[in-house]
Structure 1
């Protein structure tokens, strides 16, 4: 199963934006993340729609922060990216008539829901400025 690393990658980019003295292009971000600039633009547009970043066109254009990092939480970014499950563990649905599968899924679902609730609560308590604090001089 493939990991969803979008949250981690976007946090990485946002901290770089905070440290940049000018807007950063999608091409430059794509180079940093080893991905395609179209993927960067699509992802950054989700953040722009929520008011966390802004884009400027033309010479010296690119992406910059629209809000200070101390006003943005991990939960904000998680939600902006579409609120995918924080776990890549999935429940099986291959044997829908099997009572053992139902029992296993019910137990796993309860535990995963409880853990996700706690994790999202914690995400709401962590502002992005805390993530990049050790890099400030």
Structure 2
């Protein structure tokens, strides 16, 4: 979703879900569903009809990764987990307890970092990389992704 939002940030016109889906190689329905959640949190706006589409409706400096995380209904941050949630072995219970504490601490650190990173910072990083690679003009997706 960050990829989609940064593409949206680069344009001065609304982007259709079809155009975004084409860039992301997914179905427009998937894009619309996710962006609808972001719209509920007032991160993006949409307009119907000719010239309509999706746009970021707040300043990039005011949107943090944490805002996006919340708008996406707090997706799982860490793919790792306990092998068995309710083990019958006391050793595995001790291991689970230690891992649960570590996972909780790691998630808290990550969420704290999310609160301090804005879309404006990601956009600035993109522009630095674009300049370093000698690209000028529009941000054609295929140019920057190596496709």
Q: Could you tell me the TM-score, scaled by structure 2's length?
A: 0.82
Among 28, 40, 58, the alignment partner of 1:37 is 28
Paired position in structure 2 for 1:107? 98
Cα offset, 1:96, TM superposition: 2.1
Greater mean deviation of Cα atoms: 13-22 or 46-55: 13-22
Paired position in structure 1 for 2:124? 133
Among 9, 12, 23, the alignment partner of 1:21 is 12
Which stretches of structure 1, 4 residues or more, deviate above 6 A after TM superposition?
none
Paired position in structure 1 for 2:66? 75
Cα offset, 1:91, TM superposition: 1.1
Using a 3 Å threshold, how does the CA distance of structure 1 residues 42 and 104 change in structure 2: closer, same or farther? same
Using a 3 Å threshold, how does the CA distance of structure 1 residues 94 and 14 change in structure 2: closer, same or farther? closer
Paired position in structure 1 for 2:141? none
Larger Rg: 2
Cα offset, 1:85, TM superposition: 2.4
User: With CA pairs under 8 Å and 6+ residues apart, which has the higher RCO, 1 or 2?
Assistant: 1
Q: Distance in 1 between matches of 2:91 and 2:18?
A: 50
Q: Distance in 1 between matches of 2:11 and 2:4?
A: 10
Show structure 1 runs of 5+ residues with no match. Answer: 1-9
